[in-house]
Structure formats: C-alpha cells, structure tokens
Structure 1
Amino acid sequence: MNDWYFDRYGQTAFLLVEGDRFVSRNGRNLGWLQQEKQVYTLTGQPIGYLEKGVLRDRSGGIVGFARSATAYLPSIPGMSGAPSAPSIPGRPPKPGFAGSVSDPGNGGWSSKSVRDFFGTDI
C-alpha cells in the first residue's frame, strides 16, 4: 500500500511506496527508508527518521506526516485531499547506505521544505 504524507501546511507532498521508497507527488524518486525508520537520500546519505507516521529531520524537526500518524505533532494543519497516485517511477538501484540517524526526539516543525530535506527537485 502507498501512503501519502503531508507537509506542515497540510498539502500532499510525497508517497511512501512499497514500504521503502519515497516518491514525490509529481512521480520522482526522492529517497529510501531502511530498517523501517532510517531515511536516506537516493545516494545513500542519512537525512532523517520515520516513526509512527511522522518524518523528522536529523535535529527532530517534522518534515511530513501521514494521515494515520500516531507520533507527536505540535499542531495538525487542515489536510488537503489525497490526489490520485502519480505514475510511480521504476525502482532506482539501491545505493550503499552510509551511517545512520538515531531517534532525534520530538521537535516542532522543521524549517526545511520537503525539497530541501530530500535535496532534490520534487
């Protein structure tokens, strides 16, 4: 199942596809999920942590959340409706994953946009 994630403004931002790959709402591969919690760029650099439907950057700031999130959120914006799924791109080759990110704890909203977080055009 593919789960939509929303940004701090309640806008759909990206999907978690096949349980291990992040895809933008425009159908671009963004990054990887490893060990169910570690978030990496497409090139294998650790950038964040996913737990209970809440995606955090390395300092604990919230980048996005699923509608079904059960982890702490400082506020819940009004959420847009989930659009139809984009054309899902093929799986890129998995890189070697360098390092890891430990649970950064609860924070407020990240100052990073989804685009800045993943370091790629969405």
Structure 2
Amino acid sequence: MTLGPVYDSNGSVSGWTEADRLYSANGEVIGWLRDGAVYSLGGAHVGWHERGQFRDAAGCVVAWAQDALGGPNKPRKPGEPHRPALGSTPIRPSFSRRMGRIAFLPHWSERTWESYLH
C-alpha cells in the first residue's frame, strides 16, 4: 500500500494514511482504519472513512484524501507534499464497538486531524 496524504479544510497536509494506519503530519501512527471505521490509537471509534473522506461522530468532514468524492467543496492543494519518515507501528489495540451510523453532512468539522484521533 502507498503512503497517501490527508488534507484539512484549507488544503494543507495534516496527516498520512497507509493500509490500516493513520499518521500524524510528522509520521507517527495516531489511529487506525478498519472496515470503513476510524479508530483512535487506543482503539476508540471516532468516526468513519468513506469515499476518501474522514468524518467525525456528527458526520462532518475532518479531512480528506486525494481520491475524495462528494462532501464540502475542497480547496486547492499545494504542490506535491514532502513524505515524512514513518515511526514504528504500535501493537493494534482491541477496537471498541462502533457508534451507530448517522447521515453524512456536506460540512467541515471543527475538529483537527490530531484532535479527531485523540
């Protein structure tokens, strides 16, 4: 799997994703992807990943990947982002039960990538 940038509502790189791992902007694992669900590093369900968008518990978009479809209007991205050196992968936690699914909204979340996953 390829390391891919994750952009915030301003089009800045706020993190990275590769396979089932979510990274901070500086390359540390801070969360997990599992069957369309987003989990914190400790295994708490914090939202969803669908159609290239990371959504919070309210259904708003926190961040997006290059292949994102739908959702709020995306800003222009700067040039090719610098890929960080990746930290070691921690042991996967026991994942919590998923929240009930809600309607996805075409709005930006007030959460940042880091606060979303902590």
The two structures have a TM-score, normalised by structure 1, of 0.88
1:1-122, aligned counterparts within 5 Å?
Answer: 1-17=2-18, 19-35=19-35, 37-70=36-69, 72-107=70-105, 108-119=107-118
Q: Could you tell me how far apart the structure 2 residues matched to 1:75 and 1:7 are?
A: 12
Q: Could you tell me how far apart the structure 2 residues matched to 1:75 and 1:102 are?
A: 26
Deviation at 1:3, TM superposition (A): 1.4
Deviation at 1:102, TM superposition (A): 4.4
Which amino acid counterpart does residue 89 of structure 1 have in structure 2? G
Identity of aligned residues (%): 28
Deviations 1:50-90 (A, max 9, x none): 001000001101000112112x2221111122322111111
Is there any run of 5+ residues in structure 2 with no aligned partner, and where?
Answer: none
RMSD: 1.3
Is there any run of 5+ residues in structure 1 with no aligned partner, and where?
Answer: none
Q: Could you tell me how far apart the structure 1 residues matched to 2:40 and 2:111 are?
A: 15
Aligned residues, how many? 116
The two structures have a TM-score, normalised by structure 2, of 0.91
Deviating above 6 A after TM superposition, structure 1's stretches of 4 or more consecutive aligned residues are none
Deviations 1:37-57 (A, max 9, x none): 111011000001000100000
Deviations 1:12-51 (A, max 9, x none): 111111x10001121111100012x111011000001000
